Amino acid sequence: MLQSLRIRNLALLDEVELDFETGFTAVTGETGAGKSILLGALSLLAGARADKTIIRQGAAATEVEAALFFSDSRKLDQKLEALDLPPCDDGVLILKRSLPRDKAPKISVNGSMATLSALQELGEYWIDFHGPGEPRRLLKEGCQRELLDLFAKNEAVLEKYQTQYRHWRGLVDERERLLGADKLSADQIDFLKVQLGKIDALELTDEAIATLERDFQRQNSAQELIQLSQGLSNGLSGEEGLLGRLSALLRDARHLESLDAASKPLADRLQSTAVELGDLDAEFASLASSLNFDPEEAEALQDKMNSWLELKRKHGSKVEVVLAARDEMRRKLETQSDVEGSLAKLEKQITEALKSAKKAAADLRLTRDKAAVQLAKATSKVIVQLGFKKADFRVQLTPLAELGLYGDCGVEFLFSPNVGEPPLPLNRIASSGELARVMLALKTVLAEIDDVPLLVFDEVDANVGGEIGRIVGEKMADIADRHQVLCVTHLPQVAAQASNHLVVTKDQSGDRAAVSIEPIHANRKTRVSELARMLGDRNAKSALAHADELLGK
């Protein structure tokens, strides 16, 4: 939901900071007061294009900033990650946009610089506009199909189809790759076989390579290792070695023990030292003898190391990379050895996969057919309540020339406001007021499944009388149980249904016109006065009484 909005220097508005509540918020004001400024600010944050004429006269830049809260931001965070933007912090999305008069525009998402296209993509996740000149998500390609699938609870059926479709497409792509692949020459085939032989001869594993590199390092340092090991052994057991000198010391220690029994522990410790040094001497001598490599073994080790170094240079320094290259070379050889057989096998697999994909697409279309009838019926019922007595609303499935990721048919919502007129796609409805009411009807039916949190309506009450206006307000209040709703309205019957109320006013008493936006839902008297103004006269007792009645208790 939209939590807060800050606007600076937009059109006639100097600066305002607004906090928003859940539920239904009505926006009212005199004609020309500047109610569109609020919608314009939200449009900017949803990625709408704008020129610098919107900057308030005399100001250096227009700035808009919003904070939105998502109780479950996992889906949004995945989108942010795909756009290389920071995730939400505790479910809060921060959007900022600045349009300077003399500098390049700036956009940031959660504190990180972003592009206009990223802002547009994120807008799909948090706001849906229904009004003249605003981006309307429900009219965009694919959205109507998505909503019908949600209404039909087609998630499992669609997933099954897409699995079959991707399998078929993968086989088709493999066939294209085989047909377009260059045929290897005899020399290239021989080269691949030699390379495979070298890789297989090494019996590559991480442990085997570690052992090879250790043994090779020891061989290269063998002479120095032998000299050092022998030198250490001689230092312990040679003519002038420690063990000979220690033996004389040990005799003296035992003599001391015979004279003074208390010195026995000292003599024992000296004895232990002599034993430990003897063990060290034996191990150094063993190490020196073990380093005498057989010449044939040394040559074989050198050859294996040369082969490994060559493979590393060609394919990469890690075992798994070399093994992956080996698998690719094998695949090339296998393909070359039986291209015709591989293609014949693929053709059979493609035929079977296409058959399965078409069957899954037919199952998906069948569920859509049933849901389309139900959705059209439910939406038509609400449309009648909204004042279209002879309207015609349909959900039409259109066959596609070939299978696509979403099946074998497209989905299109059609509407005719008057009897005798053919229903047209929603994006061809001329009246923005009619379109807004159709959208309201659809949102009423789809409120529980459409997960866009903020719905914005403008001119939804165009050419609507008081009784229908009351119903429009009731529908919005119903939708507001599951979404945050913002509606710019001229009808008091609509505004009275809102749980929150913002009033837009324009002051032209000074040298320059100025627009302000104020919340009034906390002050019943002020709100009754505004509703009375909308009824015709904020000072008339009858209008005030009617406004108070509309507002209820």
What is the per-residue pLDDT across 135-172, written as a single tens digit (0 to 9) for each? 566 777 788 898 899 899 999 999 999 999 999 999 99
pTM of the predicted model over 0.75: no
- Checking phi first, is residue 228 left (phi over 0); if not, alpha (psi -120 to 50) or beta? alpha
Residue 133 has pLDDT above 70, yes or no: no
pLDDT at 263 over 60: yes
Torsions phi, psi of 66, nearest 5? -140, 150
Task: Please give the pLDDT value at position 113.
Answer: 96
pLDDT value at position 337? 65
Please report which confidence band the pLDDT of residue 131 belongs to, taking 50, 70 and 90 as the band edges: low
Mean pLDDT of the chain: 87
d(CA 298, CA 292): 10
pLDDT at 274: 83
Q: What is the dihedral sign for C-alpha 197, 200, 201, 206? A: positive
Amino acid at 546: H
Query: Which of 185-194, 383-392, 428-437 shows the lowest mean pLDDT across its residues?
Result: 428-437
Share of the chain above pLDDT 90, in %: 44
Nearest to 322 by CA among 206, 203, 199: 199
**381 within 8 A of 471, measured Cβ to Cβ:** no
Confidence of residue 271 (pLDDT cuts 50, 70, 90): confident
Distance CA 500, CA 521 (A): 5
Domain range annotation of the chain: 2-157+359-522, 186-337
Q: What is the pLDDT of residues 311-330, one digit of tens each?
A: 888 887 788 888 888 888 88
Torsional sign, CA 208, 210, 216, 218: negative
> What is residue 405's predicted lDDT score, i.e. its pLDDT?
94
pLDDT of 338 strictly over 70: no
3-class secondary-structure state, position 14: strand
Element (H, E) at 179: helix 155-180
* pLDDT tens-digit series, residues 285-299: 777 776 665 667 777
pLDDT tens per residue, range 393-428? 999 999 999 999 999 999 999 998 888 888 988 878
Q: Which helix (H) or strand (E) holds 95?
A: strand 92-100
Task: Give the pLDDT mean for 350-364.
Answer: 96
Phi, psi angles (nearest 5°) of residue 228: -65, -45
pLDDT of residue 134: 53
Mean pLDDT check: name the lowest of 89-93, 208-212, 461-465, 482-486: 461-465
Please name the helix (run of DSSP H) or strand (run of DSSP E) that holds residue 166, with its range, or none: helix 155-180
Continuous segment of H or E residues that includes residue 411: strand 407-416
**What pLDDT does residue 171 have?**
93
Report CA 2 to chain centroid distance, whole Å.
20
| CA angle (140, 145, 147) in 5-degree steps | 90
Tens digit of each residue's pLDDT (9 = 90 or more) over 27-52: 999 888 888 899 999 999 999 988 89
Give the dihedral sign, CA 164/168/171/176.
Answer: negative
Instruction: Tell me: pLDDT of 430 over 60.
Output: no
**Matching CATH number, 2-157+359-522, of 3.10.129.10, 3.40.50.300, 3.40.640.10, 3.40.50.1820:** 3.40.50.300
pLDDT of residue 90: 93
